Amino acid sequence: MTATVGKGKYLRVFHQPAKQRVLGNKVLQWVKDLEQKADTGRMRVQRTYAQRAEDWKTEYLAIVDNYRKTELLLQSTQAERDEAFALVDKLKAENVALLEQLRMSTDSKVAAIPKRKN
């Protein structure tokens, strides 16, 4: 099979028997090289599976460790949040007590601060 390139010249393609043989030999050599590189022995395959299992185990343990660290961080953050809420409640109670004292002392020279509208 040929294809026209221009002005009557032809470009030969790989569909000629001689070129097919050369290309076929190159492909067979490539396949042999691939087969030699592949793990074919039973011990190699088992070792590969053992390595994969060990890799997954290592990854799993790292994830478990990271999860535990995150849980501890969450617990400490929640404890800090609870302490902050308790402090806010205490300060609100003190604020109410101070405002009540200001209202009771109407004859003093201290003027009451108007409440903010929330």
- 101 versus 44: the higher-pLDDT residue is 101
Contacts of 4 (CB under 8 A, 6+ apart): 10, 11
**Type of residue numbered 114:** P
Q: CB–CB of 87/78 below 8 Å?
A: no
Compute CA distances 85 → 42, 76, 79, 90, whole Å.
64, 14, 10, 9
pLDDT at 99: 87
Q: Which two structure tokens, joined as six digits, stand for 118? A: 């929330």
Contacts of 110 (CB under 8 A, 6+ apart): 102
pLDDT at 39: 61
Residues 86-105: what's their mean pLDDT?
A: 90
Q: What is the pLDDT of residues 3-24, one digit of tens each?
A: 555 555 555 555 666 777 788 8
Q: What is the pLDDT of residues 23-52, one digit of tens each?
A: 888 888 888 887 777 666 666 667 778 888
The C-alpha angle with vertex 113 and arms to 112 and 114, in degrees rounded to 5, equals 110
- 50 versus 96: the higher-pLDDT residue is 96
For residue 10, the cross-strand partners are 4
